[in-house]
Amino acid sequence: MKRIPLLSGLLASLLPALLLAALPAHAEDISVAVAANFTAPMKLIAAEFEKDSGHKVLASFGSTGKFYAQIKNGAPFQILLAADDETPAKLVKEAVGLSGSQFTYAVGKLVLWSAKPGLVDGAGAVLKKGDFAHLSLADPKLAPYGAAGIETLKALGAYEAAQPKIVTAENITQAFQFISSGNAELGFVALSQVLKDGKIDGSSWLVPANLYTQIRQDAVVLEPGKGRAAVEALMKFLKSDKAKAIIKSFGYELS
């Protein structure tokens, strides 16, 4: 009969306990509402945060306006990463967001983009020429990037001519899908959606910042997240050098 060495048997019996001890004492799930334009960077940030903390990020992606309505109707989100700074401020004023928790995690950039090479010129003149049948943008009533697109058209004096050609998407992710599929020849999206390894496929025009209101994207802790250590840890992580490096890699500026 084979005898199991005493040390090996002891290690085998202790292994489950050692593995449990390596995990965070109180690993939690964190429910986060995230602006659609921040989908790609948030997935990377969440992965890094989960690896470092052991907590789990349950992220939902969509338009800031829709999230506001859901939060007001009792949706149990613990954190909102908005596409603007007005919605978090409004939630704080309405005592749904926690006072003192709001901060700017990114400053977004608007880009006019087409999946077709050569269609969008480097100065955005295509908007004035009107050489397109459909232009997509996110619902300006719900999405700050959509509102920025309308501001840009008006600043260029191209809004009236473009208005009949505008295809309004539910959010900026859908706007991107309309353009990438060719259902709309061009449209306004976030730079973060089209910037891949420092390059943009198709053709694009980075809209000058003076043509639209600065897109300051703020985070805020919501009432369901009050006093939760995991929520506080994620908010802190968003301010870390590791998170900032990811955010900048997608073309966002930091405040």
The CATH number of residue 71's host domain is 3.40.190.10
Given this model, what pLDDT does residue 255 score? Answer: 83
CB atoms within 10 A of CB 202: 16
Residue 3 has pLDDT above 60, yes or no: no
232 and 154 in a common domain: no
Same domain, yes or no: 130 and 117: yes
- Those residues with Cβ within 8 angstroms of residue 20's Cβ, 6 or more apart along the chain or in another chain: none
Residue 133 above 80 pLDDT? yes
* CA 160/CA 191 separation, integer angstroms: 25
**7 is a domain residue:** no
Q: Judge whether 2 lies within some domain.
A: no
Rounded to an integer, what distance in angstroms lies between the CA atom of residue 218 and that of residue 254? 11
Note the pLDDT of residue 39: 96
Structure tokens at 190: 């976030």
- Which residues share a beta bridge with 2? none
In a domain, 13, yes or no: no
- On whether both 119 and 100 belong to a single domain, the answer is no
The HSE-up count of residue 252 (CA atoms within 13 Å, CB side) is 27
Residue 127 lies in a domain: yes
| Percent of the chain's residues with pLDDT above 70 | 90
Which residues constitute the domain of residue 186? 110-206
Q: Is the torsion defined by CA of 27, 226, 76, 59 positive or negative? A: negative
pLDDT at 20: 45
For all residues of the chain together, what is the average pLDDT? 92
Which one, of 199, 224, 202, 169, lies nearest residue 36 by Cα? 169
Alpha-carbon gap, residue 106 to 72, rounded angstroms: 24
- What is the predicted pLDDT for the residue at 7? 46
Q: What's the predicted TM-score (pTM) here?
A: 0.85
Return the SS3 of 67: helix
pLDDT at site 21:
47
3-state helix, strand, coil in the chain (%, to 5): 45, 25, 35
Chain segment 180-228, per-residue pLDDT in tens = 999 999 999 999 999 988 899 999 999 999 999 999 999 999 999 999 9
Please state the rounded mean pLDDT for residues 82-102: 98
Q: Which residues contact 73 (CB under 8 A, 6 or more apart)?
A: none
Q: Which residue is listed with tokens 């025009």?
A: 205
* Confidence (pLDDT) at 5: 53
Question: Would strands 110-114 and 186-190 be described as parallel, antiparallel, or unpaired?
Answer: antiparallel
Number of domains composing the chain: 2
Q: What percent of the chain has pLDDT above 90?
A: 87
- CA-based R_g, the chain, Å: 22
Q: Say if residue 147's pLDDT is above 60.
A: yes
Question: pLDDT tens digits for 10-66?
Answer: 445 555 544 444 445 578 999 999 999 999 999 999 999 999 999 999 999 999 999
Residue 6 placed within a domain = no
Instruction: Name the residue among 52, 53, 30, 34 with its Cα closest to residue 172.
Output: 34
Same domain, 32 and 91: yes
239 shares a domain with 151? no
Q: How confident is the model at residue 161 (pLDDT cuts 50, 70, 90)?
A: very high
More confident residue, 131 or 162: 162
